[in-house]
């Protein structure tokens, strides 16, 4: 099996958020960043029972935990999330990122069904 990522973008004010997601048998791995090049950021993990922890960094911790909770709830798997976002990300940006996560999962599911 080859690990492949689904990637999408979402415009937000004067920047573009990028997302990439991959599915493992027991986990979902997701990266969210702003800027041209992917960057590792604050790293969080959420388990299927909704317990969560921050593993690295703190700037985007809340956003990572929220995204991880959503991904884990939808997939019933562990969610490992990296967020590298501009400072001052607000609630509006959070909605854009949650929508991006939802679209990434849908895209990943559709591409997985086509590969079966």
Distance CA 101, CA 74 (A): 10
Residue 114: pLDDT over 50: no
Tell which residue, 105, 100, 103, has the closest CA to residue 17: 100
Ordered strands of the 15-23 beta sheet: 6-12, 15-23, 27-34, 78-84, 42-46, 52-56
Query: Per-domain residue ranges for the chain?
Result: 6-110
Q: What is the pLDDT of residues 14-58, one digit of tens each?
A: 899 999 999 999 999 999 999 889 999 999 999 999 899 999 999
Residues 6+ apart with CB under 8 A from 110: none
Percentage of the chain surpassing pLDDT 90?
Answer: 75
Distance CA 113, CA 3 (A): 15
> Domain spanning 6-110 has what CATH number?
3.30.230.90
Instruction: Look up the pTM and report it.
Output: 0.91
């Amino acid at each position: 099996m080859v690990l492949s990522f689904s990637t999408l973008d979402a415009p937000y004010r004067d920047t573009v958020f990028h997302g990439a997601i991959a599915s493992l048998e027991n986990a979902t791995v997701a990266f969210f960043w702003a800027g041209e090049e992917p960057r590792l950021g604050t790293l969080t993990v959420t388990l299927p029972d909704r317990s969560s922890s921050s593993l690295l960094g703190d700037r985007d911790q809340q956003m990572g935990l929220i995204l991880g909770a959503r991904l884990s709830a939808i997939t019933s798997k562990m969610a490992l999330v990296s967020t590298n976002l501009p400072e001052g990300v607000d609630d509006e940006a959070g909605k854009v990122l949650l929508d991006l996560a939802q679209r990434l999962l849908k895209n990943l599911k559709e591409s997985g069904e086509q590969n079966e």
